[in-house]
Amino acid sequence: MPTAPLAVSPNPNNVMLGRGKIFGDRLQLVNGVLQRTGEFDLGNCTALELTPKADVKEKYESMDPASSLYARAVTRQTHSLKITGDEYSLFNLANALMGNQGTITTTGASVTGETLTTAPLAGAYYPTKFRNISAVTLHDGVSTKVLGTDYAVDAASGRIQILPGGSILPADTLTVDYTYASYTLNTVSGGTAASVDMYIRFKGNPVKGPQFEAEFWHVQFTPNGNLGFIADDFGNWTLEGMCIADPINHPTEPLYHLLQVA
């Protein structure tokens, strides 16, 4: 790779109109040590903002009415990172919801006599124990109910709706026979992670300005903002986090570093 030109001012080539890709690597605690598990592309992100902040103590002299600033010292500094993304991937959702990814796997079979409800209400939906159902038969203990007249089936989710105007009464105990197909579904369990700790890599590809890459060794994120699943515009998610020092693995640059690559 050629040596990148030294970015010094004044130079209009240094003004930044940024673009780029962001990769996240969820850190897991193994035997008391946070370990990386693999980088995932976060997809289209509309913002990556790095905010340094310093807490300052100031001492003012009391020897004359002007009370001029006598001494000043930085007592601590923090560096925060904010990412706004558009893509609702499983990895992104798990991070935005402080959750974890998983799967549900079910082997298909047949069910006979499953109790659906003991107090059916017209218009209400009642779930079966499994999804992807077919060959549904609904009973009230006396008669077999008629599909399309007494009830409707949401086969994909595994639900039965009691249709208004049918023969099903509120006092009926309904049982159901059905067959369900095998399925494996990906899941995100929201709110199951005590914290979201990540390694972040940024690969800049700006419209204008010097090209940087960045590595943030350990950022502890918390979700911020709404995650829209019904909206009049494209949804997005926002993560805000604090950079945590890693002096053991990176003693000379414990928080992060920026690399000018072009």
Mean pLDDT score across all residues of the chain: 96
User: Residue 5: what pLDDT?
Assistant: 80
User: Residue 138: what pLDDT?
Assistant: 99
Calculate mean pLDDT across residues 136-143: 97
This prediction's pTM: 0.90
165/207 same-domain check = no
Question: How large a percentage of the chain has pLDDT more than 70?
Answer: 99
Would the pLDDT of 225 be above 90? no
Peptide bond into 10 cis (omega under 30): yes
User: Residue 1: what pLDDT?
Assistant: 54
88/37 same-domain check = yes
Report how many domains make up the chain: 2
User: Residue 195: what pLDDT?
Assistant: 93
User: Residue 2: what pLDDT?
Assistant: 64
- The pLDDT tens digits for 76-129 are 999 999 999 999 999 999 999 999 999 999 999 999 999 999 999 999 999 999
159/116 same-domain check = yes
Rounded to 5 degrees, φ, ψ at 14 are: -90, -10
Query: Which domain does 82 fall in, by range?
Result: 12-56+75-102+188-260
- The pLDDT tens digits for 175-200 are 999 999 999 999 999 999 999 999 99
**Band of the pLDDT at 201, cuts 50, 70, 90?**
very high
User: Residue 12: what pLDDT?
Assistant: 92
**Band of the pLDDT at 244, cuts 50, 70, 90?**
very high
Burial 187-207 (b: 16+ CB within 10 A, else e): ebeeeeeeebbbbbbbebeee
Task: Give domain status of residue 66, yes or no.
Answer: no
Nearest-CA neighbor of 122 among 168, 158, 154?
168
127/112 same-domain check = yes
User: Residue 6: what pLDDT?
Assistant: 84
- What Rg value do the Cα atoms of the chain yield, rounded? 29
30/96 same-domain check = yes
- The pLDDT tens digits for 145-159 are 999 999 999 999 999
**Band of the pLDDT at 4, cuts 50, 70, 90?**
confident
227/255 same-domain check = yes
- Listed as own residue / partner, the contacts of 29-37 with beta carbons closer than 8 Å and 24 or more positions apart are 34/197, 34/218, 36/199
Residue ending a domain, choose from 181, 211, 241? 181
Distance CA 168, CA 145 (A): 8
